[in-house]
A and B are shown apart, each in its own frame.
Chain A
Amino acid sequence: MTREEFVKQCAKMGIGISLFPGLLASCSEEETPVVAFSGKVLIIGAGSAGLMAAYTLQKFGIDFEILEASDRYGGRVRILENFADFPIDIGAEWLHTSPSVFGELIDDESATGEIDMIPYKADTMYRWNGDQLRRFNIVSTYYGEYKFKTSTWFQFFDQFIAPKFLDKIRLKTPVVGIDASGDQVVVEDDQNNTHVADRVIVTVPLTILKNNFINFRPSFSRPKQAAIDKSIMPAGIKVFIKFKEKFYHDIVQVSVDGLRDSERIYYDAAFRKGRQDHVLGLFAAGEGARELTDLEDDNVIIEAVLDELDQIFDGKARQHYIKHVVQNWSAEPFIQGSYSFGGENYEDTIDFLLEPINDKVFFAGEAMNKDYWATVHGAGLSGIETAKEVLRRP
């Protein structure tokens, strides 16, 4: 039995893990005790990884606080309400794995609650090459993901995760320095306030690490710095447009500059939600997004999007247009892009990205999950794993 299995087994038997960490340590078959750490942890960033790290520490009765730069928690998981007759995920929207992952994230046999899901397999799939709209419905045989039906990714965190420690999330606190050279770690925010803890879990996006927004002391090891420099987190944007009529297909993939694998898709955001409103979503990342995110402002972006839609659908976009919202993730000061794009030998790169500083500053986030990088659940699982890693070390 592995340690994970053992912990699960204890939970099933009703043994309160947070009440008996010492008991767990003595039960473990592994040499490293499960909870060898007691002290304070600071989590930097309240996205999926940060929230799940906090949720895990809370379970084990560890003292912690989350410092979040923006005025809300969720990170790249964000909700848009009152735009249509259903809530919209204006950041991450799809579940790119089996819904059984909710069980893995919550990891609590006694938790109660339900989530309505849609098996997301579009019926009508097209590709736009800048000139012609071509049907490629056969792809739906191979394509399939999941989506929330009545709620959103944000509501998953808002309902089932964050309420357990809302009082421990400190918003509008951008961290600018982390000093792990002493006995304790000293974290400095942009108002020159210092926060002291025994361990720190950093869950900020790759871009924030790449552009040295946070000053680390001691600085990263060479391989870690090289891994950060090598990693890519390109542009990302989402646009939602409400129309009077549904004149579009379930999915239209746009080939940008002949790049077939560019991520730019228009999709029916109301697909199988059983609602009245017609909302078309645009999701773009990488090169497919940059053409838009580089534009001057949201007004210019929406004009470019409507131009493209009018081209694809013979002028129907402007004819049926009601309203829109643009979420330019590249322009968000504490995100600055979409998600990590992997690349060659990315799994090895992740080992370096995860490398702690002085065994006191640990890392987690979507870019650091070997199995599911670039996803919400991957970020969440990475947060859980890093929190457990902190617990394992005295």
Chain B
Amino acid sequence: MNKNRIFTTFFLVLLAAFAQAQPELNKASIGYFSHGGIHPGGKIGAEYVLSEKMKPVSEVERKISLLMNPQIGGFIRENFYTGILVNNELGLQRQRTDRKRYSIYSIGLGYLHFVEVVDYTVNLQGEITNKTRENRPYFFPSVNYALGRDIGERFGIYGKLTYGMRMTSARENATQLFVEFGMKLGLNN
């Protein structure tokens, strides 16, 4: 299967999931978002619950939620590039009802846009005087793992890893890693 077909299929699955469920806006998130763990940025996101079910585990229960998580993030690597990631993820959250900790496994499809600095001029004082930039758009399918913890009724913190492939017909694919830390705010009552 070529990569365009994979994207289309995946995108349709996401759309279908969203259309069939009656999504409920559950949480908003804001976090430090970094390309490769070192090039800094920020990200905001929303979390919709598409469906939820309880599964007994020994004496307690485990809540399994199907989540939809649209988000937008940006990052910068000085003198090299600025990037924007618009991403939507479909994920499963697992949390025991007696625990505050949860994990989310998700797959995502996004649009990753790099504005790359291709060259620039430096004067003899070492200051950059003129930058030439180039736009580079990519598809960005990804797998994600997040570990979170509810701290209060409406507040929690999380850490997340996103590993994906930036893809375009213009140049070779390249795997990308994003690291994120942030907080989530509960929105429903």
Contact = CB atoms under 8 A, between A and B. Distances in A.
Interface of A: 98-104, 106, 108-109, 111-119, 121, 123-124, 135, 137-138, 140-142, 144, 146, 149, 160, 272
Nearest to A124: B172
Interface of B: 35-36, 38-39, 77, 79-80, 116-129, 171-177
B2 to A, nearest CB: 18
A383 B116 CA distance: 35
B127 A100 contact: yes
A102 B124 contact: yes
A138 B175 contact: yes
Given A102-B122, A108-B124, A113-B124, A138 B117 contact: no
B80 A119 contact: yes
B175 A103 contact: no
Given A103-B127, A137-B172, A272 B118 contact: yes
Nearest to B124: A111
Nearest to A150: B119
Nearest to B117: A119
B44 to A, nearest CB: 22
A142 B36 CA distance: 7
Given A114-B123, A117-B121, 13 more contacts: A102-B125, A106-B125, A115-B122, A116-B120, A119-B116, A119-B119, A124-B172, A137-B173, A137-B175, A138-B175, A138-B176, A141-B39, A142-B38
Contacts of B119: 116-119, 149, 272
A73 B153 CA distance: 71
Contacts of B77: 144
A25 to B, nearest CB: 26
B124 A99 contact: no
B79 A114 contact: no
B175 to A, nearest CB: 4
Nearest to A249: B172
Given A119-B80, A123-B171, A138-B177, A100 B126 contact: yes
B41 to A, nearest CB: 13
Contact of A123 (B38, B79, B172): B172
6 contacts: A99-B79, A103-B126, A103-B127, A106-B126, A112-B124, A114-B123
Contacts of A135: 172
B122 A118 contact: no
B129 A114 contact: yes
Given A118-B119, A138-B174, A138-B177, A106 B124 contact: yes
B79 A98 contact: yes
Contacts of A99: 79, 122, 126, 128
